Amino acid sequence: MTTELRVGVAGLGTVGASLLHLLETRSSALAARCGRSVRVSAVSARDRTRDRGADLSAMAWFDDPVALAGSPDIDVFVELIGGDNGPAEDSVRAALATGKSVVTANKALLAKHGVELARLAEENKVSLSYEAAVAGGIPVIKTMRESLAGNEIDRVYGILNGTCNYILTRMEQDGLDFSDCLADAQRLGYAEADPTFDIEGNDTAHKLAILTSLAFGSQINSEKIYLEGISSITRADIEAASELGYRIKLLGVAQRTDSGIEQRVHPTMVPKASAIARIDGVLNAVAIDGDAVGEVVLVGPGAGGSATASAVLGDIVDVARGLSVPTLGMPAHELAPYKAARMRMHEGGYYIRLAVYDRSGAFAEIARIMADEGISLESIVQRDRTRTHTEAETHGDAPQPVILTTYETTEAAVKRALGTITARNVVAGTPQMIRIEKLR
């Protein structure tokens, strides 16, 4: 047996504490699988007094994760702090620069600095592994980078944020309010330290940026991704979607189009019969369309301490076994810049919810504006038109909810039509618009 692998872990929160627990309880199995023992020799976090649910007495403590990363007493550095700068970035750079392989779950860091860090890893002949950074426990990085390396990939899409999927599922199934569902997701350890990254779609965009690079051999650029989160989704939308035969999911989609690579993150109506519609709670799903293999769909827990630590540990095992592949599937200098397709060119169906003033001619005007933009309406439903004559007299022309769905059209046409409808003063407030994705 070769010498043991000494692991330094920075960050002992939801994921770090679960990792310590897994490494402690699986130590003999890991030694057998790796042909050497794997031991946490040093750790770093902010609060030394906090109970981490593990015995830290045999581990060196570092207040400064950068000092831990540079320590000659560790062989691999595991970064579980989070954030795209500060101690996470500094410690990862320090570890790579001092010739240590790095394992991280930090998608924000990779989305911002991934190519540069990949180059640093190559220069120092070490590996940079990040299975846990995308879709938690699902082995999507290895699948795309290694198992599907013989494919040309045309599209990768999926549910990439456990917190959002948990919130949308509980709002639909349990009739709970958004804020209560988010509080539960935080309590369960699914959410980011700043949960606006989850609910506004940034976390999904970080993951999609990484998957785009693996799929298309491109550089990483999360700034090019069209982004909309789930905070505007109401129970009314969820109920209307269900009546129309859809469920609402936050999807990340990257696909080749004639005008470039389309990358978008937004709430999406998916047919109830599709595989993606059946992914509930904290589960994530990633679908990859390869030219040789066809569609591959991976499903599993997308967040949570144990599931994420499972992916981190898989990467540590690779290091212990001496396995290494290029960080983003090819040498960093081979990764090409890419042309991003403009969102206004996106084509698809749309769900539109309007609060229409209860006046004669309002419906006709909306239909005319849509027709002028060449938009063909699939359905129009006026909801809750249950007021009595007396109520109507009391409330005047108070707005009534109207739901439209369109056949396939362009984003540009829908945006123009909604702009005109709003300007003509036939609706109150801002129209709600949700894209419909025709998935199998």
Select from 1, 28, 29, 47 the one that contacts ligand NDP (CB under 6 A): 47
CA proximity to 263, closest of 201, 200, 309, 190: 201
Place of tokens 């980011």: 192
Nearer of residues 312 and 320 to ligand HSE, judged by Cβ: 312
87 binds ligand NDP (CB under 6 A): yes
**Positive/negative CA dihedral, 278, 147, 260, 109:** positive
87 binds ligand HSE (CB under 6 A): no
Place of tokens 């066809």: 294
CA distance 120 to 99: 10
Show contacts with ligand HSE in window 3-42 (CB under 6 A): none
CA distance 299 to 343: 28
Whether 207 is a known active-site residue: answer: yes
Is residue 264 within 8 A of residue 347, CB to CB? The reply is: no
Number of residues counted as binding ligand NDP (CB under 6 A): 28
Tokens of 411: 């984003």
Rg of the chain taking only CA atoms, in angstroms = 24
The one of ligand HSE, ligand NDP, none whose footprint includes residue 271, by CB under 5 to 8 A per kind, is: none
Nearer of residues 81 and 434 to ligand NDP, judged by Cβ: 81
* 100, 127, 153 from 64: Cα distances, Å: 17, 23, 41
Residue 194 C-beta: closest distance to ligand NDP, Å = 10
To which H or E segment does residue 114 belong?
helix 107-123
Determine the 3-state secondary structure of 71 from DSSP.
coil
Residue 129 C-beta: closest distance to ligand NDP, Å = 13
- What is the DSSP secondary-structure string of 337-372? P-PBPPGGG-EEEEEEEEEE-S-TTHHHHHHHHHHH
The one of ligand NDP, ligand HSE, none whose footprint includes residue 290, by CB under 5 to 8 A per kind, is: none
301 binds ligand HSE (CB under 6 A): no
Select from 16, 267, 349, 431 the one that contacts ligand NDP (CB under 6 A): 16
Question: In the chain, what are the helix, strand and coil shares in percent, each to the nearest 5?
Answer: 40, 25, 35
65 binds ligand NDP (CB under 6 A): yes
308 binds ligand NDP (CB under 6 A): yes
Residue among 100, 112, 207, 224 flagged as catalytic: 207
Select from 11, 16, 136, 252 the one that contacts ligand HSE (CB under 6 A): 136
CA proximity to 212, closest of 303, 299, 286: 286
CA distance 351 to 280: 22
Tokens of 326: 């290029």
Beta carbons within 10 angstroms of residue 123's beta carbon: 11
11 binds ligand NDP (CB under 6 A): yes
Nearer of residues 204 and 405 to ligand HSE, judged by Cβ: 204
**Positive/negative CA dihedral, 140, 141, 147, 152:** positive
CA atoms within 13 A on the CB side of 123: 12
Select from 46, 321, 385, 438 the one that contacts ligand NDP (CB under 6 A): 46
Is residue 320 within 8 A of residue 5, CB to CB? The reply is: yes
Stretch that binds ligand HSE, among 1-9, 85-93, 157-165, 251-259 (CB under 6 A): 157-165
Angle at 139 between CA 249 and CA 320, to 5 degrees: 150
Stretch that binds ligand NDP, among 23-31, 76-84, 255-263, 400-408 (CB under 6 A): 76-84
DSSP-assigned letter for residue 218: B
Nearer of residues 161 and 406 to ligand NDP, judged by Cβ: 161
300 binds ligand NDP (CB under 6 A): no
The one of ligand HSE, ligand NDP, none whose footprint includes residue 50, by CB under 5 to 8 A per kind, is: ligand NDP
Show contacts with ligand NDP in window 134-153 (CB under 6 A): 136
Tokens of 409: 């059209």
Select from 8, 158, 300, 304 the one that contacts ligand NDP (CB under 6 A): 304
Number of residues counted as binding ligand HSE (CB under 6 A): 11
303 binds ligand HSE (CB under 6 A): yes
CA distance 7 to 77: 6
The one of ligand HSE, ligand NDP, none whose footprint includes residue 163, by CB under 5 to 8 A per kind, is: ligand HSE
Stretch that binds ligand NDP, among 75-83, 179-187, 257-265, 418-426 (CB under 6 A): 75-83
Show contacts with ligand HSE in window 171-200 (CB under 6 A): 190-192, 198
158 binds ligand HSE (CB under 6 A): no
Nearer of residues 313 and 356 to ligand NDP, judged by Cβ: 313
DSSP-assigned letter for residue 329: S
| Binding positions for ligand NDP, rule: CB under 6 A | 10-16, 44-47, 50, 65, 80-82, 87, 105-106, 132, 136, 189-190, 192-193, 303-304, 308
Q: Which residues bind ligand HSE (CB under 6 A)?
A: 136, 161-163, 190-192, 198, 203, 302-303
Would you please indicate which residues are annotated as catalytic (active-site) residues?
A: 207
